[in-house]
Amino acid sequence: MRFPALAALALLVSVPLAAPAAAQQSLSRSVEGLDQRDRPASFRDLSKRLMPAVVNISTSKTVAPEGMPTFPEGSPMERFNDFFGRDEDGFRREGSLGSGFVISADGYVVTNNHVIDGADEIEVNFANGRVLDAELVGRDRDTDLAVLKVKSDTPLSYVSFADSDAAEVGDWVIAIGNPFGFGGSVSAGIISARNRDLNAGRSDDFIQTDAAINRGNSGGPLFNLGGEVVGVNTAIISPTGGSVGIGFSVPSNLVNRITGELIKSGRIRRSWLGVNVQDADEALVRAYRASGKGGVIVTRITDDGPADKAKLEVGDLILSFDGQPVASVRELTRVIADTPIDKSVPVRLVRDGRARTFTVTMGELQEETPEDTTQLPDLPASANDLGADLSSLDDDIRRRYGVPKDVEGVVVTSVSARGPAYGKLVRGDVIIEINFERVATVTDTLEKVKAARANPAEPLLVRVKRRGDAGWFDQFLSVDLGK
């Protein structure tokens, strides 16, 4: 993840202390009739009402020794085993604290996955001092959410979810949790922004708040003035490790959907299209002879996946999915996540400059695909119209750049820092198409580039094979030859 200098994205886990109590009905109320534009005289009554449903999560796990030796029984150094927190077998216990909240009278509790990840034992601490053992119902690493279950002889106080889509920038919110082990801490602020993308997962859509949240607040609720949960506090950006007024919460509508599915089946099933895609800016869209300000280009198709079975191809420019326009990878990811598995959906795309519609039957996602990363070197100028030095694919070049035998085209050996391809092509790219036409030699490639310069207003569409962490994949680039 990339953030401004000195800033760090912190997950909010801490170390032990106490927490919240219990009753029989939801402590939340609808915000209808409440004027969130008016500054409340005090959060006293609201905080007092909600405290019983907010809990502290205490976890512990056994870890194997690392680095320091375990001293044998009877050794003069044996006392140092206790000093390093190790038992007689050399293992030690680690603990952490986070926050959570009760969502039902029968004991379902919501928290962050990173709060309980790897824990052998989980305890839920209430504000009245009551402590209950918890079992893990289910977790979702993508949204960093987890559901726990505690058993209680009496109904527990619980809170309800707000409609986070109705929450607006400027609305008052309060956070209750366990920052740095100080259980039952309340802080107040406003919603600072909506729809924040932290590049943390497929479902990034965070609410930003300036309410003070710190380590230990993870998994705790962000309430509106009706006492409804509008978000689950998950991360902060901080150069100091403490709150600087930039915190992030998972929106309650997403939390409600994920926790409901975890309670029902213990896991999250997500739809899968079976493609890798890249964003297409307005220039790339024009290069495809399409209209609009964005779309996504298919760069890889998984064999025998939904897209493969539907006859989608690498290079297709997707403009809409299931009737919804998609201008970016983020938008496509979200609409796919909201699409039921096995549903047949129309996909409108552009191929070879022509609009087409395909029907795709969604599959089920089994595993994540690692992201590919590239770096562009700053190399000397090249004399041709592309601003890149090219080489044909002989055995020596294939060995040098690791190009597979089934890849044909021309290799980029350097990129001019002052040429039109700077910031687009990367050393080691294999150019395989120029404006939808295959290229096999350096001469052929440069002739097609030179021909394209006759109409400098139209961007050049370049298709390359690029090496990434997961192997070679297709990448589509628009190069402005007018520069």
pLDDT at 50 over 80: yes
- Which residue type occupies 326? V
Judgement on whether residues 47 and 161 belong to the same structural domain of the protein: yes
Does residue 380 lie within any of the structural domains? Answer: no
Q: Is 192 annotated as a binding residue?
A: no
Average pLDDT over the chain, rounded to whole? 82
Judgement on whether residues 255 and 284 belong to the same structural domain of the protein: no
Q: Which of 224, 243, 266 is the last residue of a domain?
A: 266
Judgement on whether residues 238 and 276 belong to the same structural domain of the protein: no
pLDDT of 470: 74
pLDDT at 111 over 50: yes
pLDDT > 90 fraction of the chain, expressed in percent and rounded: 49
Does residue 371 lie within any of the structural domains? Answer: no
Does residue 347 lie within any of the structural domains? Answer: yes
Does residue 193 lie within any of the structural domains? Answer: yes
Q: Is 216 annotated as a binding residue?
A: yes
114 is catalytic: yes
* Residue matched to tokens 């960093």: 144
Judgement on whether residues 313 and 226 belong to the same structural domain of the protein: no
Residue 334: count of CB within 10 angstroms of its CB: 17
395 is catalytic: no
Q: Is 292 annotated as a binding residue?
A: no
Does residue 328 lie within any of the structural domains? Answer: yes
Does residue 94 lie within any of the structural domains? Answer: yes
pLDDT of 28: 75
134 neighbors 122 (Cβ within 8 angstroms): yes
Judgement on whether residues 334 and 211 belong to the same structural domain of the protein: no
From 140, 142, 144, 389, the catalytic residue: 144
Judgement on whether residues 217 and 306 belong to the same structural domain of the protein: no
Of the given ranges (54-68, 70-84, 296-310, 391-405), which has the lowest mean pLDDT? 70-84
pLDDT at 383 over 60: yes
Q: What is the CATH number of the domain that holds 128?
A: 2.40.10.120
Judgement on whether residues 33 and 150 belong to the same structural domain of the protein: yes
Burial readout 155-184 (b: 16 or more C-beta within 10 A, e: otherwise): ebbbbbbbebeebeeebbbbbbbbbbbebb
From 99, 114, 249, 372, the catalytic residue: 114
Does residue 468 lie within any of the structural domains? Answer: yes
Q: Which of 221, 239, 266 is the last residue of a domain?
A: 266
Judgement on whether residues 348 and 465 belong to the same structural domain of the protein: no
Judgement on whether residues 141 and 246 belong to the same structural domain of the protein: yes
Judgement on whether residues 211 and 70 belong to the same structural domain of the protein: yes
Instruction: Kindly indicate the confidence band of residue 15, based on its pLDDT and cuts at 50, 70 and 90.
Output: very low
Of the given ranges (75-84, 185-194, 268-277, 308-317), which has the lowest mean pLDDT? 75-84
Number of compact structural domains in the chain: 3
Structural domain range at position 288: 271-364
Q: Is 117 annotated as a binding residue?
A: no
* Separation of alpha carbons 377 and 203, rounded Å: 32
pTM over 0.85: no
pLDDT at 250 over 50: yes
pLDDT at 3 over 80: no
Instruction: Kindly indicate the confidence band of residue 10, based on its pLDDT and cuts at 50, 70 and 90.
Output: low
Q: What share of the chain is helix, strand, coil (3-state, %, to 5)?
A: 15, 35, 50
Q: Region 92-117: what's the mean pLDDT?
A: 87
Radius of gyration of the CA atoms of the chain, in A:
27
In 3D space, the residue among 268, 236, 244 whose CA is nearest the CA of residue 254 turns out to be 268
Does residue 382 lie within any of the structural domains? Answer: no
In 3D space, the residue among 386, 353, 408 whose CA is nearest the CA of residue 460 turns out to be 386
Q: Is 396 helix (H, G, I), strand (E, B) or coil?
A: helix
pLDDT of 257: 93
| Residue-wise pLDDT tens digits, 329-381 | 888 988 998 899 999 999 999 998 899 999 999 999 875 543 433 333 333 44
| Residue-wise pLDDT tens digits, 418-475 | 788 888 898 899 999 999 999 999 988 988 888 888 777 788 899 999 988 778 999 9
Instruction: Kindly indicate the confidence band of residue 60, based on its pLDDT and cuts at 50, 70 and 90.
Output: confident
- Which residue type occupies 95? G
Q: What is the CATH number of the domain that holds 410?
A: 2.30.42.10
Q: For residue 310, with 0-12 CB atoms within 10 Å meaning exposed, 13-18 middle and 19 or more buried, which class applies?
A: middle
Instruction: Kindly indicate the confidence band of residue 33, based on its pLDDT and cuts at 50, 70 and 90.
Output: low
pLDDT of 71: 46
pLDDT of 2: 36
Q: Is 144 annotated as a binding residue?
A: yes
| Residue-wise pLDDT tens digits, 119-156 | 888 999 999 999 999 999 999 988 999 999 999 999 99
Q: How far apart are the first and last CA of the chain?
A: 31
In 3D space, the residue among 151, 190, 189, 159 whose CA is nearest the CA of residue 51 turns out to be 159
